Amino acid sequence: LAVALSLVLRDRTRSRDRAAGAEREARDVRERLRRAEDERRSMALVLSSMREGVLLVEPDGRILFANPALEALLSGAPASLDALLPLDLREAVRTATAAGAPRSAEVETGAPSRWLRGDAIPVGEDAAVLLVVRDVTEARRLEAVRRDFVTNASHELKTPAASIQAAAETIGTAAVHDPAVVPRFAAQLEREALRLSRIVSDLLDLSRLESGSTLEEQVALDAVLRDEAERFEGPAAEAGVALSMDAEMVPRVRGSARELALMARNLVDNAIRYTRPGGRVDVRLAPADGEVVLTVADTGVGIPSRDLGRVFERFYRVDRARSRETGGTGLGLSIVKHVVENHGGTVTVRSELGVGSTFEVRLPAAP
């Protein structure tokens, strides 16, 4: 009896131990499941908050997950892979699945047009593919701007350099055979060297403006404008252009005195260059509702309406022949735009062919 009782008690103890062990295993499983669910929710939250579109695709093409950014980029809910993705992105996913290696593609889509880049990356042992989609429209635009800038800068620098070389060679020959022409070619040499120097100077100014500025001065724009007007009295008289200035007492502007002087200088210089002899350039500075307003109006040749939207582009010229004749670099108005935007302001232009142009700059007054 004692032995039997001992066996019964031992079996009960073992049963309790097995039950306790099973309970511990169940708790462990529940804990692992809870952690896995927490991780899944955290990952979903992270992916949902990303600006990039994210898509997780099974090897058979079934969509496991798509974040809101992807739906916004592709303008649709993830019904199916074929319905959701443009052809080139579908091919990137399928190729990545088949090859087990990352694949990328860029595609133009939508109206207005924009460019999307998709990077398909195999993940896990089951050959699922993670597709990350980014909007690269702005990057492509900046790359196109960079290419255009390099092309235009190369051309603009090459032209005066070639003229300098030709004038120097002519002077070398004429010094022996026809000394009378030397002064004429020497003047051309000086003129082209000055133009080359001006282009380089403007390029350096643009580079500094694009790299950012420290805008901590309280600038008296009326004083800056008077200094610049005095600078141009001589050139305006030589061009036969009447230059007038009306600068009221205005609030100070927070910014860079050097940059604001550069802005005013380029506006006045541009107005004089494109005004015929007998014309006039009027510069006015006035306060207006928490702003300082600078207007530079001329009675010059004017700008065609089709060109008004492009006059602030680098190296853009309405009349290339006149610009070369007057020594313009095609960078002045781009410099103006950068200075104004750096100071939180706006610049606009109104113009009529044969009547003239008016540039208006609005800058916030310093608090």
Cβ atoms of 49 and 68 closer than 8 Å: no
pTM of the model: 0.57
Which residues are within 8 A (CB) of 326 and not within 5 positions of it... i.e. 6 or more apart? 273, 274
What's the confidence (pLDDT) of residue 149? 67
What is the rounded distance in angstroms from the CA atom of residue 363 to the CA atom of residue 346? 7
HSE-CB of 135 using CA atoms within 13 angstroms? 15
**Sequence spans of domains, the chain:** 1-49, 53-135, 139-211, 214-367
Q: What is the DSSP letter of 366?
A: P
Where b means 16+ CB within 10 Å and e means fewer, 336-352 reads bbbbbebbebebebebe
What is the rounded distance in angstroms from the CA atom of residue 144 to the CA atom of residue 271? 30
What's the confidence (pLDDT) of residue 87? 86
Amino acid at position 116, single letter: L
Q: What is the dihedral of CA 150, 156, 162, 167, to 10 degrees?
A: -160
What's the confidence (pLDDT) of residue 319? 61
State CA 51 to chain mean position distance.
Answer: 19
State CA 237 to chain mean position distance.
Answer: 39
- Considering Cα of 144, then 147, then 153, then 154, what sign does the dihedral take? negative
Domain 139-211, second-level architecture: Orthogonal Bundle (1.10)
What is the rounded distance in angstroms from the CA atom of residue 199 to the CA atom of residue 327? 10
- The residue with tokens 């990356």 is 121
Which CATH superfamily groups domain 53-135? PAS domain (3.30.450.20)
What is the rounded distance in angstroms from the CA atom of residue 8 to the CA atom of residue 3? 9
What's the confidence (pLDDT) of residue 355? 92
The tens-digit pLDDT sequence of the chain (367 residues) is: 555 555 555 656 666 666 666 677 777 767 676 675 666 666 666 666 678 888 888 888 888 888 888 888 887 666 677 777 888 988 998 999 888 899 999 998 876 788 999 999 998 777 789 899 999 988 888 777 677 666 666 666 676 677 777 777 777 776 667 777 777 777 777 777 777 777 777 777 777 777 666 677 889 999 998 888 888 889 899 999 999 999 888 889 998 888 899 899 999 999 998 999 999 999 999 998 889 999 999 999 999 888 888 888 877 766 654 455 555 667 888 889 989 998 999 999 999 998 999 999 999 998 8
What's the confidence (pLDDT) of residue 326? 52
What's the confidence (pLDDT) of residue 281? 95
Predicted confidence (pLDDT) per residue in 108-151, tens digit: 887 678 899 999 999 877 778 989 999 998 888 877 767 766 66
Domain 214-367, second-level architecture: 2-Layer Sandwich (3.30)
DSSP letters, 28-44, are HHHHHHHHHHHHHHHHH
